[in-house]
Chains A and B, each alone.
Chain A
Amino acid sequence: MKLVLTEEEQFLKDTAKNFAEERCPISHFRSLRDNNDPKLWDKDIWKEMTALGWPGILIPEEYGGSNFGITGISVILEECAKTLTPSPLFATGVLGAFSITNFGNDDQKQDYLPKITGGDLTTALAIDESSHHNPADTEMVAKKDGKKFVLNGKKTFVIDGASADLLIVLARTSGNKGESSGLTLFLIDSNDTGIERIKLDMADSRNYANINFNNVEVSAKNILGDEETGGETVENILDIGRIAIASEMLGNAEAAFETTLDYLKQRKQFGVLIGSFQALQHRAAEMFCEIELTKSSVIAAMKAADEGSNELQRLSSLSKTMAGETLHLVSNEAVQMHGGIGVTDEYDIGFFLKRARVAEQIFGSSKFHTERYANISGF
């Protein structure tokens, strides 16, 4: 496993970098937030991303995709994260596309994948039910009734949940809270009767929802993968999601660090540039090193995903932990080193801090993944 990008992957990354800088500078995100845009992402930008083929990166060519792999989509997310570009790319292009491509049956693939590649269908993965990520804690009941299931319960913190067309929902078909067996994944139209979506207002101004399910009827045909094995399936989907979000967080950290370095080279106090102070230099040097370690962890995890390595789970937890710890450090230091303007809304650096803390919680915090890493490693 070589820890370098292929030419194609580098090309995707460069394209994404140009796109993010030209089409979605941070001012784009700011205006969506200030205008109280209900989706918090822009339809035209999503169209342009679709034209570039991004929603179909994980989708096979027979369904209109390009099958460029986890590394391909992750480096795009990294670049888009540098300008805090909001879009359905993570929830749809990674979570939805990966789930249906890898676990969908032929009908499901035929129904959904061409629509995803065409930018006509967005998805959301509904897992958590409390303030902390833990799929085994799923309580939502899916009760079998002939050829259909009836779902009751509540999902929280669903990424893109406020606008997605298709929901991928983890529910309990047997067993008890705390058990990873007895779980099943369902594909559910978000407009189905009994679904109530409550848009969340989170610190990072992204699209999230809590979703109530009141006697929602779902046909057995809409099971994703196999009944009762959703616990394993969802872990696989989540590992891919963790790697992709870690890549995004790496992009956040790189951009916040870059902005801070620029500031250290411009801002003068006591008649000198503040970047000449050793008290700041050493902290900047440590951030540089942490970012380098995170880059290596993320690329190793992306490559492991693409090569089907049996180290995938461990590397996924490694990358999410490293990205979480590094972004935590960098976002705090970035605000501190900017001094007074760092805590103003007018200045962009605060966006990175807010985004950091929300992203840290997505699919398990660093604490969650440190524990998981230890369990997998036999500590």
Chain B
Amino acid sequence: MTNLEKFREETKNWLDKNCPPSMRNGADPDIPVDEVWGGRNAEYKNPESKIWLDRMGAKGWTMPTVPKEYGGGGLTKEEVKVLNEELFHIGAKQPLLSFGIWMLAPVLLEYGSEEQKKEHLPKILKGEIRWCQGYSEPGSGSDLASLSTKAEDIGDKFLVNGQKVWTSYADKADWIFALVRTGAKEPKHDGISFLLIDMETKGVSTKPITLISGKSPFCETFFDNVEVPKKNLIGELNAGWTIAKKLLQHERAFISNFGLAGAVAGAGSGRDVVSIAKKHLGEENGKIKNSFYRTEIASHKIKEHAFGLTLKRAGDEGGKASATASMFKLYGTEHNKKRHELMVGASGVDGVAWDGDEFDENDKNLTRAWLRTKGNSIEGGTSEVQLNVISKRVLNLPSQ
């Protein structure tokens, strides 16, 4: 038996013993489902969610490629593939959703000191600390580098003052990774540092923002004379912009995958554009009855198929997060918006239902989901910013 076969055998056995029944295929549909984000104040409707997280966290399999000394699984690429196959095989639920894993951990591994990696990575991977992202400010959206939240050197600490906006789930997060100005305003890219701040520190406060969808996944976050130890600075002082850009690439790759995963997941949940169109517009010989919608949906499906193959190709080519992350972010979000527009349109007036008993839950949820997608092409860099990045970084077109 090769090492890889042995690994598969062990993994299978381990999952068999350790993946709780409600966390895999065949789970009792009456057991409530948690969206597990971890953190100091996490609450679980199903205790097995916590057991599954703790077991996977202890193994380091929430981020299996991370070296063992930082709490990861220390697995090779091939082993990760085997692990994913075995997880897929039993229909295992993702143990942890985490901005820490998707965004912060990769840059900590690249830019953090040994001490910082040892302190933060294990807590991220075990889901003990929930992170949020402090990038945008009221005056700095697309022009992120113009940010003005100030971190002043007061000896052994930084004194942070300012405001962040669009911080996802800041009201539930334990720590924030933030971009702060530690140097001059001009040149704007050169005075930025990457700082980790405990949300429990005196002077940090948050306020939720209600979106057009009626939901509040984002907050405003205020810093009022917040004292932050200097050891929380990642990388060099005033060299935070490089880290910020790297993190954005991870974020963009993640958001674009999210759009595609949504399309795949949607197909199973009844929120699939074809079944919605057939339900509301009728079906004839297995075809969507309205030929105008049918054509538009087919064209969209073709684009989505080609995009999915492009993500696969990038993986097969051994793709690292690079400038093409901008393409994935752009297309992932634009396709997701288009798909929702088609679903809403094909649903007719049911597609714009808001509340009340006259409407189906699915229709009301679709309305909210459609409105939520409008933010996809704004957050993490607008579609227009992605086009700028592709023009300059990939195509090398001149600046004006």
Contacts and interface: CB of A to CB of B under 8 A. Distances in A.
B103 to A, nearest CB: 24
Given A284-B391, A370-B298, A379-B288, A292 B324 contact: yes
Contacts of A234: none
B313 A281 contact: no
- Interface centre among B288, B299, B313, B327, by most chain A C-beta atoms within 10 angstroms, is B313
A226 interface: no
B395 A377 contact: no
Contacts of A285: 386-388, 390-391, 394-395
A260 B286 CA distance: 44
Given A281-B391, A288-B395, A370-B298, A299 B313 contact: yes
B288 A296 contact: no
Given A288-B394, A379-B287, A276 B400 contact: yes
Nearest to A280: B397
Contacts of A284: 391, 395, 397
B302 A264 contact: no
B287 A374 contact: yes
Nearest to B397: A275
B397 A276 contact: yes
A365 to B, nearest CB: 13
B188 interface: no
A282 B384 contact: yes
A273 B398 contact: yes
B398 A289 contact: no
Contact of A286 (B286, B309, B387): B387
In which size bucket is the chain A interface? Answer: 35 or more
A276 B302 contact: no
A296 B295 CA distance: 22
B106 to A, nearest CB: 23
Given A273-B398, A276-B397, A296 B310 contact: yes
Nearest to A377: B301
Contacts of B279: none
B254 interface: no
A2 interface: yes
Contacts of A4: 313, 316-317
Contact of B327 (A2, A289, A377): A289
A286 B397 CA distance: 13
B205 to A, nearest CB: 39
Contacts of A277: 400
B305 interface: yes
Interface of A: 2-4, 261, 264-265, 272-273, 275-278, 280-282, 284-286, 288-289, 292-297, 299-300, 318, 321-322, 370-371, 373-375, 377-379
19 contacts: A3-B316, A265-B398, A276-B399, A276-B400, A284-B397, A288-B395, A289-B390, A297-B306, A318-B302, A322-B302, A322-B306, A370-B299, A371-B295, A374-B301, A377-B298, A378-B274, A378-B286, A379-B298, A379-B301
Closest A-B pairs by Cβ, 9 of them? A281-B391, A285-B390, A374-B298, A296-B309, A3-B313, A293-B306, A296-B310, A276-B400, A275-B397
